[in-house]
Amino acid sequence: MLDQPSDPKFKGALAQIYVRSQPYGGSDKSNNGHRYDSIPIVNGMISAGMSCQLTHYTHEEHDKFFELCRNFDFVIVRCNPGQIKADGGDQQKFDDGMCALRKMGKQVWPSPDVMEKMGAKDALCKVATMNIGLPDTLAYYSPEEFSAGFKKTMAFQPRVIKQNRGSSGEGIWIIKLKDENYCKEYGERSCEDGEKLVLTEANDKHEEEHTVAEFIEFCVHGRTHKSGEWTSKGVGKYLEGGKEAGGQLVDQRFRPRIVKGLRYNLIGDNIIGISLGISLSPDCSEFAELTENFRKDLPHVMPSLDLAHEPLPLWWTTDFINASAKAEDEKWDDTPNACWDDISEVNKAEAKKIGVLMGEQALSILQMVSVSQLYG
């Protein structure tokens, strides 16, 4: 880490969580117990003339932690989803603490609202009408919406149907028409109740055949005399309780998994790189049209997600095709003694570049907030 500035423009902290039951505090940690990206992020803030302290949240000292956070102008939250609970804490209590900081005028990146709404399963549905979206990406909250919408999308192309409350692939179905009689344009026709579907559930890859009517019945009412015989471990009823209780289905176009995916890496609204197995310039000609459309959409992303009051995240990615590497390839567990010094010089330079850009973006946001507060 760089030395902290003696007269910082703003003071901040990077909040982490050390899962005490897991080796090194979690698979996102290096052998010093900190996240592998902590050094470049903190140094990026320092390079921008701000101080940034490394902190760890422990649920036993919840009040003390947030009392400390009140002394900072900003908090960068780097606690992976699920890790607070895995360490014995309460995620909602932690989120409430961060929301309270926001109400005090502190910057929290990302805020709990941003984490929830940008990571929600229906986020793609809210950008469906943008240049980067697909119009046949829908979310259903009622049986009537589901029946009408699914019959229309299913007649067009193979689907992925996802329940909101599932885990480990349960309630996520890859669905194809058995007769493969898809229409050429979305909306040309809707499926009949009796058309046969071939369904594969993501949790165990088992395959079933049902009619359109039987699948809709299972999703809405579960196992009934109208839904036929199911071998799935799940019970259906994906819309039970309505939207307020998390009853929701997302319907999107199926795309086969490929080895090399397309990922855009951004600092705020600045596209800093494209990854396709190798790193590409954000101005590469191969994806010029997609990049141009994405840039046009960026000002509308947060408002579309009901986050108009929030800035784009400091550092975030967008995957246009779900083709991330296998999880085990991305963990540090296989080399438990790995640390910052084991990273190649090329990757260190890239990490430093990203950290510096994050610092510049953070400083810009804080300065704008300060001016806004000064003039009301």
For residues 15-26, one letter each, b for 16 or more C-beta atoms within 10 angstroms of the residue's C-beta and e for the rest, the string is bbbbbeeeebbb
What's the whole-number average pLDDT of the chain? 88
Whole-number pLDDT of residue 372:
65
pLDDT tens digits, 167-180: 556 789 999 999 99
Position 339 pLDDT exceeds 80: no
What is the pLDDT averaged over residues 322-327?
A: 34
pLDDT tens digits, 138-160: 999 999 999 999 999 999 999 99
Cα–Cα separations (whole angstroms), residue 87 to 79, 90, 331: 11, 9, 19
Strands 263-267 and 74-77: unpaired
Question: 323 pLDDT band (50/70/90 cuts)?
Answer: very low
What is the pLDDT averaged over residues 274-285?
A: 83
State which H helix or E strand residue 351 sits in: helix 345-374
What is the pLDDT averaged over residues 77-102?
A: 93
Whole-number pLDDT of residue 332:
34
Tokens of 214: 């039987």
Question: 338 pLDDT band (50/70/90 cuts)?
Answer: low
pLDDT tens digits, 202-254: 888 999 999 999 999 999 999 999 999 999 988 999 999 888 887 899 999 98
Domains of the chain by residue range: 11-111+260-374, 133-253
Tokens of 90: 């309460």
Peptide bond into 110 cis (omega under 30): yes
Beta-carbon contacts of residue 286 (< 8 Å; ≥ 6 apart): 280
For residues 79-94, one letter each, b for 16 or more C-beta atoms within 10 angstroms of the residue's C-beta and e for the rest, the string is beeebbeebebebeeb
